[in-house]
Amino acid sequence: MTDYKETLNLPQTDFQMKARLSQKEPEMLKKWEEAGLYDKIKEAGKDRPKYILHDGPPYANGHIHLGHALNKTLKDIVVKSRTMSGFSAEYVPGWDCHGLPIELQVEKKFKEKKKELGKTAVRKACREYANKFVSIQRDEFKRLGIFGEWENPYLTMNYGYQAAILSELGRFVEEGLVYKGKKPVHWCSSCSTALAEAEVEHAEKTSPSVYVRFEAVSIEFSKAIMEDGVKTAAFLGAEDIPISVIIWTTTPWTLPANLAIAVHPDVSYSTVRITLHGHEEIWVLATDLVESTMDKFGIENYSIVNSAPGSLLEGIVCKHPFVARESVVRTANFVTTEAGTGCVHIAPGHGQDDYEVGLKHGLEVYAPVDNNGLFTSDVPEFEGQFVFKANNGIIELLEEKGMLIKTEEVSHSYPHCWRCKKPVIFRATAQWFVAMDDDSRLRERALKAISEEVEWVPGWGKERIYGMIEKRPDWCLSRQRVWGVPIPALICSGCSNAFLDKGLINSLGKRFEESGADIWFERPLEELLPEGLKCPECNGTEFEREEDILDVWFDSGVSFSAVLERRENLSNPADLYLEGSDQHRGWFHSSILASIATRKVPPYKSVLTHGFVVDGKGRKMSKSDGNVIAPEQIIEKYGVEVLRLWVAAEDYRDDIRVSEEILKRLSEAYRRIRNTFRYILGNISDFNPETDSVQFNELEELDRLTLHRLNGITEKVLSAYEKFEFHTIYHTVHNFCTVDLSAFYLDILKDRLYTSGTKGKSRRAAQTTIYYVLDSLVRLLAPVLVFTTEEAWAFLPGKREASVHLAAMPTVNADWVNNELDEKWRGLSAFKDEISKALEGARVEKIIGHPLDAFVSVVPGEADTEKLKEVEALLVSVLIVSGLCVTDGTEAPKETEASFSFVSEEIPGLKVTVTKAPGGKCERCWHYSESVGTQTGHATICDRCVEALA
RNA sequence: GGGCCUGUAGCUCAGUAGGUUAGAGCACACGCUUGAUAAGCGUGGGGUCGAAAGUUCGAAUCUUUCCAGGCCCA
């Protein structure tokens, strides 16, 4: 007896169903490395047009988290897809190495020894620390399958990079953009340093809240008579009663620095006559706040004398509550009536808004507080006291002077130092600044470039960064820190003038290039100075060096110069910057300012942003909430491939969720794709595309339909790569694998592949088709599933490049387009669905099990019987039944058989009857056929199989 | 508190310029198959579109408010 199973062409392949990704991925990486794959990709692209994705440098501190993985994987997908689409897309990764966090880590290690060791030792330790994490992160990134110049990355602490930073600073100086000024900045008195916005965290703090009287000493002000003819004096109801403007503040310690009082010009203010402790006074405050404030003060006996807009109050001269100084009422738009009295105490040296009011009215930027937050001798009463501690004394003093109306405690959001977590103060200090609005109109030019010269993806990125640049203050470049590139300014010993000299910057640049920026701190100053250098103010020749270093945003902001312009394989501007949306204030921001200031053009043509990784509920990940998932966990459990699929599957323009469920779903989707690969590979193991391919026009109908559909998804996927819409790639391909291939084409194809003649045209046509399908799918997915596609690539027959990553994307084949066919099958699949329902009914009734047990009678009803009749044979194979006939319903099915009838609700009049198929079951192809038993020499198989065996 | 953004089935995504009973895949349930088998196939249940109000003959799609969440600021 023949074992007919042996005569079938069943799938055969060593491409494993089980991926074992976490083991195999590192092996693949090693293989790539040994083969020098990245260099080969570079070499292959040397004559192609460039596509430059410029890497934003992550900070060289700590291990990578999912945010890093997301960002770098997205970049890798861009680079790989552009490479496969005919570009040379070299990727040079970088790291941000200077800055406070590393310095603090090192400081922690040194503890008290820091001061003895000096700057050089600290800087050396910082460099080592940064190097250590560059190395750690590099390995972690490589593990993600990211291709790039890992052995030659850019580090902002490299000597060449440091020299570039200095040279860019020189250009800023040359453009006249850099000035030294006094300005209130966030100041941490504990760390003795100015803090960047980014270095400030907001947290709840309890502060004293005080209401203070500022007595008016003169009502002979400049605007005594207003346009409406109302005398301010009249508004004040000037009588022989003391008049006070009432202010509210939660920082009593800034009162010694008070220089003015601000009111909103358009807000209504009232003069309120009150009786307190038996005598009368007139108080001025915002009309809307009178009632609540009086309530708070417990004053019941009051009456509003008069009301007028704040603009009328401008110029009232008040007496400082305890310092012999005047404080004048000014108008400002930032004033609100949400809290307090609508009259705001102004200390230009201690607040941003205050500073701006002061600037407008020519007030001194006065801040009698030293680096450690202690009052200076300017405030004798509190000299040497820490400002927050002095609050109490100041309140007592106010009380004593009879100026305090009310004091209480409030809890509010207050800025804190990100490092020591202590509350910070606003304090005016001498800093180097980049002017946003001077003659060179940096702000204006940057805004113009943002709206006209850069493509922002998603589009709202434009509004976001525009708003930020529009409102940002001058760029404070200096940091009173150690680990960074020095601002090589000189301070004249003769006249104390601080200045930046272009000649010095130039000559230093060369030395930085050779020996690094450390020399500024290490070498004697005389050795560094150009000959004959004189103070531009007093011609003095004795100098001291500036100790401040540059803001690290300046470091990374000039990467277009340090990296794009300086590397032969790159060029400026870049095609794309791709970072998280926080970089609208970070790197995108500093980069465009730096580039506009020095090159007049933006450093990027387009900017793509992604959202943040959040947990399954959409909440941010934090250690304290315990919802953090580390890349490692995912890699160990599922493999990098699933992590990459996650990056590709989610719409990154929004926040990106990750959870165990999401990963589980994705790993299942991965298996589906992998199985599709495997199934096709199994069925083309005996197929040689060069010799066995069937011409397109000789393919069968379903083959051509499938290639038409493949064409469709190819077009869609290529366009999605082009437009950076990666999640549609995943959905498109997954859907194609599941719906068009697995549940339709491949399922139908089994009969042809397994049972027909091994070398017959029908089988070869099927193989030709699925070969095309797999070849395309593997290429299309290579940028995402970097390992799996490479694995499949090696199994694919035919001549091909050594690696899928050296291959090109498939092209859309115009010859394959057949919309008529597509249309036809769209209609037929509706019939297929309905007949499937009938089969399911028959299955429930136990008439059939497998569809091949069935014979189907179709009465089309209102549908076109003739047309359906034509595709009878196709429907048999599509439904995988043993027989099907389309009739007009006049011939009833054989009554002897058990049958199941189904009337369609979807297709009017369609009636389907399912019966057990007649004849015997062919042992070989499992179809039922009347021919079984009639074949000589083959008693148990059908005529079709006999023919196949011939 | 402000700027920008998001909120469609358990999950990931579609839903064109507002117009018939809101789609897909996965997951789930039930069944089939055992020649993709730690696979494959079929059928089925499940959202009224974050909430409310409004504009409109008609809204997931426009407006307002509110709620929840994210980034960046204060």
Q: What does A431-447 look like in DSSP terms, one character per residue?
A: EEEE-SSSTT-HHHHHH
C-alpha span between A464 and A630 (Å, rounded) = 30
Q: What's the one-letter identity of residue A515?
A: S
Q: What is the sign, positive or negative, of the torsion defined by CA atoms of A302, A306, A309, A310?
A: negative
What pLDDT does A230 receive? 45
C-alpha span between A245 and A256 (Å, rounded) = 17
Closest CA to A772 of A685, A696, A857, A719: A696
Closest CA to A560 of A550, A568, A545, A570: A570
Which positions of strand B lie within 7 Å of protein CB atoms?
Answer: 1, 3-6, 10-14, 24-27, 31-44, 68-74
C-alpha span between A507 and A842 (Å, rounded) = 90
Would you state the structure tokens that stand for residue A274, as one six-digit string? 């009150």
Closest CA to A438 of A474, A465, A469, A467: A474
Residue A157 — left, alpha, or beta (φ > 0 → left; ψ -120 to 50 → alpha)?
Answer: alpha
H helix or E strand, kind and range, residue A185 = strand A178-188
Neighbours of A145 (CB within 10 A): 24
Nucleotide B42: nearest residue by CA–C1'? A840
C-alpha span between A856 and A897 (Å, rounded) = 12
What is chain A's length? 950
Say yes or no: ipTM exceeds 0.90: yes
Q: How far is the CA of A879 from the C1' of B43 (A)?
A: 15
Contact of A711 with A817, CB cutoff 8 Å: yes
What pLDDT does A892 receive? 60
Closest CA to A593 of A443, A428, A465, A722: A443
Nucleotide B4: nearest residue by CA–C1'? A464
Q: Which nucleotide is nearest to A926 (CA to C1')?
A: B35
Q: Which nucleotide is nearest to A620 (CA to C1')?
A: B70
What pLDDT does A289 receive? 77
Q: Which nucleotide is nearest to A754 (CA to C1')?
A: B35
Helix axes A701-722, A819-844, angle to 10 degrees: 110
SS3 A725: coil
Nucleotide B70: nearest residue by CA–C1'? A655
Contact between the CB of A201 and strand B at under 7 Å: no
C-alpha span between A204 and A246 (Å, rounded) = 26
C-alpha span between A197 and A194 (Å, rounded) = 10
Q: What's the one-letter identity of residue A863?
A: A
Contact between the CB of A4 and strand B at under 7 Å: yes
Closest CA to A59 of A572, A475, A556, A759: A556
Q: Which residues of A356-387 are buried (b: 16+ CB within 10 A; e: fewer)?
A: bbbeebebebbbbbbeebbbeeebeebeebeb
Would you state the structure tokens that stand for residue A837, as one six-digit string? 């329902």
Contact of A263 with A344, CB cutoff 8 Å: yes
Task: Give the C-alpha distances (Å, rounded to integers) separating A331 from A208, A314, A354, A674.
Answer: 26, 6, 11, 69
Q: Which residues of A513-552 are buried (b: 16+ CB within 10 A; e: fewer)?
A: beebbbbbbeeeeeebbeeeeebeeeebeebebbbbbbbb
Rounded to the nearest 5 degrees, what angle is found at the Cα of A110, between the Cα atoms of A106 and A114? 100
Rounded to the nearest 5 degrees, what angle is found at the Cα of A549, between the Cα atoms of A548 and A552? 145
SS3 A108: helix
- Which residues face A855 on adjacent strands? A883, A915
Instruction: List % helix, strand, coil for chain A (3-state, nearest 5).
Output: 45, 20, 35
C-alpha span between A354 and A359 (Å, rounded) = 9
Would you state the structure tokens that stand for residue A861, as one six-digit string? 């009803």
Would you state the structure tokens that stand for residue A256, as one six-digit string? 């010694």
Q: What is the sign, positive or negative, of the torsion defined by CA atoms of A163, A437, A551, A137?
A: negative
Would you state the structure tokens that stand for residue A315, as one six-digit string? 């110029």
Contact of A832 with A878, CB cutoff 8 Å: yes
Task: Give the C-alpha distances (Å, rounded to integers) separating A667 from A534, A615, A634, A742.
Answer: 69, 18, 11, 18
The residues of A between 824 and 863 with beta carbon within 7 Å of nucleic strand B are 833, 836-837, 839-840, 843-844, 849-851
pLDDT < 50: residue spans in chain A:
1, 221-231
Residues 6 or more apart in contact with residue A227 via CB below 8 angstroms: none
C-alpha span between A67 and A643 (Å, rounded) = 12
Residue A370 — left, alpha, or beta (φ > 0 → left; ψ -120 to 50 → alpha)?
Answer: beta
C-alpha span between A390 and A381 (Å, rounded) = 10
Cis ω before A26 (30° cut-off from 0): no
What pLDDT does A797 receive? 96
Beta-sheet strands, E only, within A566-633: 574-580, 604-610, 613-614
What pLDDT does A222 receive? 37
Instruction: Label the pairing between strands A574-580 and A604-610.
Output: parallel
C-alpha span between A8 and A6 (Å, rounded) = 6
The residues of A between 540 and 579 with beta carbon within 7 Å of nucleic strand B are none
C-alpha span between A557 and A524 (Å, rounded) = 30
Q: What's the one-letter identity of residue A573?
A: P
H helix or E strand, kind and range, residue A634 = helix A631-637
Averaged pLDDT score across all residues of chain A? 89
Q: How far is the CA of A538 from the C1' of B64 (A)?
A: 65
Sheet holding A899-903, edge to edge: A883-886, A854-859, A911-916, A899-903
The residues of A between 912 and 931 with beta carbon within 7 Å of nucleic strand B are 923-926
What pLDDT does A214 receive? 85
SS3 A501: coil
Contacts 24+ apart (CB under 8 A), A193-198: A193/A100, A193/A479, A193/A480, A193/A481, A194/A429, A194/A431, A194/A476, A194/A478, A194/A479, A194/A480, A195/A417, A195/A418, A195/A424, A196/A476, A196/A479, A196/A551, A196/A553, A197/A585, A198/A418, A198/A553, A198/A585, A198/A586
The residues of A between 698 and 717 with beta carbon within 7 Å of nucleic strand B are none
Task: Give the C-alpha distances (Å, rounded to integers) separating A87 from A51, A53, A83, A684.
Answer: 6, 12, 5, 32
Contact between the CB of A20 and strand B at under 7 Å: no
SS3 A225: strand
C-alpha span between A494 and A510 (Å, rounded) = 29
Contact between the CB of A582 and strand B at under 7 Å: yes
C-alpha span between A296 and A616 (Å, rounded) = 46
Would you state the structure tokens that stand for residue A1, as one six-digit string? 């007896």
Q: Which nucleotide is nearest to A589 (CA to C1')?
A: B72
Closest CA to A642 of A621, A672, A617: A672
Helix axes A502-515, A159-174, angle to 10 degrees: 170
SS3 A15: coil
Q: Which nucleotide is nearest to A197 (CA to C1')?
A: B73
Q: Which nucleotide is nearest to A725 (CA to C1')?
A: B13
Q: How far is the CA of A740 from the C1' of B66 (A)?
A: 45
Q: Which nucleotide is nearest to A616 (CA to C1')?
A: B11
Instruction: Label the pairing between strands A326-331 and A317-319.
Output: antiparallel
Contact between the CB of A205 and strand B at under 7 Å: no
Contact between the CB of A581 and strand B at under 7 Å: yes
SS3 A151: coil
